[in-house]
Structure 1
Amino acid sequence: MLVARDAADAVLGQLRATAEALTVGARTHRDVVAAARTLTQHAVPTTVGARLAGWVRGVDRAAVRLEAARDALPAQLGGAAGTLAASVDEFGVGFAAALPAAYAAELGLAAPDAPWHTARWPITELGDALVQALDALGVIAADVATLSRPEIGELAEGSGGGSSAMPQKANPAESVLIRSAALRAPQLGATLHLAAATAVDERPDGAWHAEWPTLRELLRLALGASAHAAHLAAELRLDPAAVRRNLELSGGRILAERLARVLVPRIGAERFAELLTGDAPLADRIRELPEAADLDVEGLLDPAGYTGLAPGFVDELGGDS
């Protein structure tokens, strides 16, 4: 429990540093309009700030859960089979009953309600919190890795990793390491639950022994991934020109949701679907419609005018993450 507490402290510090750096980035890029992607395709406009704010919220929630799990880590002093019979026999009932709490206070751990040889919730709750932290960091890493592809180029790590065979590459090395940890974590968390579910008798035969190396590995992954995430967040670079270029790839069709609400009542669904086809500039095609003569076409096709609550999501971030 002492090792787990110290490791959780370190992970929490890195999670907070990650959230703070991303919050700065979200506020800096609050109004940078970008293409939102759903099922890998352009959907509607969003903002870079809103995307980063979503990352912050995931990290913050994981930190809340990890802090709670860390603070609940109890000391264990239960005797051979959880009865403290030897302490009762030696020192009396009152002394034996007070002993675990005194022991916990000395170590700076939570006082247990009773010995927990087979009540493994302290381990499973810690494991779940660590998995959630790695999930949150994995989302960030996956987005950064995707958006740093040369054909997208919107984000880049501060210093990419090189390649021994391909010197032109700047690999998203930290994102790769974080994603690797995030992909491994759920199975480790599942092993902790399986061990807890088979913690039989008053001291389990094998469940503990599966639990120990699993928890150590999960703590190692969380320590490494959170350290990389804090550095990644602090050094993350945005290319506004690439963001703008990608936003314009569809020639205004990224605003089809908005246009449908305005034009379908005027020209019908079939003509609207036809309007979106072909390579001709969408603005010109709309201006050619007699039914659209009174419309502000330029305003309708301005992505900055269709970001909804995205800027507000940045404004709602707390001052301290």
Structure 2
Amino acid sequence: MNLTDGLFGDAELSAAMDAPAAIAAMLTVEAALARVQGRLGVISAEAARRIDAAAGELTPDPASLMDAVAQAGIPAQAVVGALKAACPDEADWVHFGATSQDIQDSALILQLRAALRVIEARLVTLDRALTAKARDFAEQPIAARTRFQIAAPTTLGAKIAVWRAPLRRHLQRLEQLRPRLLTVSLHGAAGTGAALGQRMQPVRAALAAELGLGAHDVPWHAARDAVVELGGWLALVTGSLGKIGADLILLGQSEIAEVQAGRGGGSSTMPQKSNPVAAEALVTLARLNAGAVGMLHQAMVHAQERDGSALGIEWQTLPQMVVRTGAALRLAGELAQTLRPDADRIDAGFAADRGAMLAEAAGFHLTADMPRAAALDIVRQALAQLASGQAATLAEALAGLAPDRDWAAILAPERNTGDAAAQARS
């Protein structure tokens, strides 16, 4: 436990990926394996019944298995040992024809399936919240900024639509990923299924059906692409949420303060401050997962039929990526619900800009009845007057250089947001 777990952790996802959950998932796989082997006549029906019952009742303390795990180099072997001890008369039939990696991997998939249901539900909830906010503020003008500089008017709804758009693509990616990821592993010691011979394929198919998973004919003990693909997907999700966090930090900083979200955190010595704690955490979590996905790719360099050094990287990296993704979605959901613009600060920002962000719009307006070069020259002169203080606003400067036009109306921010409102409502 870390003191920062309340910020960077997530209790629900931690519970899905922690040691008790892993042990329970391994025992679920072992129980299912015994049941299908009993039905298919690989082991006796009575042995299957007793193994199933023992696995259902067994809840070993993770601490009691740590020495055995350290000795074996794989958690499943310690769990299998505990199960055999719980039903000594059937010990010879426990784990029959399987290898520890089969149980470890199949259990991991069960854990990931449960975790992904939680993550998907949070993604859907966040998508709905941002959709509602985008529509609420579809026509709220706000300055767009490119490369940290004021660029042109947009709307707050359009900004939110940009945040929301990747979430829907992530949901599509998840549906595409699931069939590749959610598969059982049962191929035996060297991946050939030799221990059960011709019976291995039907046992594997029956185990997959029992667990509600798919099954591959070729082992994935040493082919970790689906697991690494999941890691990439998790990093995509947190990366998209990190972008939201970064934008909210900038939009809420003291000099701008156009948008607020979240409760804010106080300073121990500066009572005027309201730190963007949740938004900062989104950026942190995104960067942590971005680094972790590179580490997870190291697990694909998996020597021969099984490589403990590669597996160790996966075991130490993937669960935390899942937890971070859950934490980021939790925080982003809270921010989305509380997001609100400060219309007065937005108006003050437009006033302070004095119309300079409408320079592009002015140029295109003039181009309608004069050569483009001439139009841009007028706009450059107007901007020079604005910079030197000869004109209070860009509209005032243009009125002198290109008279007989209602420049105040032409350059009104709300008339120059293009498709922003439509994007917000999409």
Cross-structure match for 1:50: 158
Cross-structure match for 2:118: 10
Relative distance call for 1:237 and 1:286 in structure 2 (3 A) is: same
TM-score normalised by structure 2 residue count = 0.69
Identity of aligned residues (%): 36
Q: Which digits, 9 at most, give the CA deviation of each residue in 1:203-229, with x for residues without a partner?
A: 124111111111011111111111111
Cross-structure match for 2:350: 247
CA distance in 2, matches of 1:226, 1:109: 26
Looking at CA atoms only, which structure, 1 or 2, has the larger radius of gyration? 2
Cross-structure match for 1:22: 130
1:272 correspondence with 2:379 = yes
Alignment root-mean-square deviation, CA: 1.7
Give matches, 1:78-227, under 5 Å: 78-88=187-197, 93=198, 95-196=199-300, 198-227=301-330
The one-letter amino acid of 1:34's match is I
- Residue aligned with 1:249, SS: helix
Relative distance call for 1:272 and 1:231 in structure 2 (3 A) is: closer
1:305 correspondence with 2:415 = yes
- Deviation of the 1:312 alpha carbon: 1.2
> Among 45, 50, 74, which residue is 2:183 paired with?
74
Relative distance call for 1:309 and 1:271 in structure 2 (3 A) is: closer
- Deviation of the 1:162 alpha carbon: 1.9
The one-letter amino acid of 2:246's match is A
| 8 A Cα contact 2:298 2:313, kept in partner | no
- Deviation of the 1:189 alpha carbon: 0.8
1:32 correspondence with 2:144 = no
* Structure with more helix by fraction: 2
Deviates more, 1:209-218 or 1:155-164: 155-164
Cross-structure match for 1:319: none
- Deviation of the 1:274 alpha carbon: 2.4
Higher relative contact order (CA 8 A, sep 6+): 1
- Deviation of the 1:101 alpha carbon: 2.4
- Deviation of the 1:268 alpha carbon: 5.3
- Deviation of the 1:270 alpha carbon: 4.0
- Deviation of the 1:111 alpha carbon: 2.0
- Residue aligned with 1:43, SS: strand
Q: Which digits, 9 at most, give the CA deviation of each residue in 1:94-132, with x for residues without a partner?
A: x31122222122222222242111111111111111011
CA distance in 1, matches of 2:255, 2:179: 45
The one-letter amino acid of 1:284's match is E
- Deviation of the 1:315 alpha carbon: 2.4
- Residue aligned with 2:189, SS: coil
Deviates more, 1:64-73 or 1:102-111: 64-73
CA distance in 2, matches of 1:110, 1:210: 25
- Deviation of the 1:271 alpha carbon: 4.4
- Deviation of the 1:58 alpha carbon: 1.5
| 8 A Cα contact 2:248 2:259, kept in partner | yes
The one-letter amino acid of 1:275's match is A
1:286 correspondence with 2:389 = no
Cross-structure match for 2:336: 233
Relative distance call for 1:271 and 1:296 in structure 2 (3 A) is: closer
CA distance in 1, matches of 2:377, 2:342: 38
CA distance in 2, matches of 1:285, 1:38: 25
The one-letter amino acid of 2:380's match is A
Deviates more, 1:262-271 or 1:39-48: 262-271
Aligned length: 308
CA distance in 2, matches of 1:45, 1:268: 20
CA distance in 2, matches of 1:163, 1:274: 47
- Residue aligned with 2:321, SS: helix
The one-letter amino acid of 1:60's match is R
CA distance in 2, matches of 1:7, 1:293: 64
CA distance in 2, matches of 1:153, 1:113: 57
Relative distance call for 1:97 and 1:217 in structure 2 (3 A) is: same
| 8 A Cα contact 1:8 1:70, kept in partner | no
Structure 2 segments unaligned to the other structure (5+ residues):
1-108
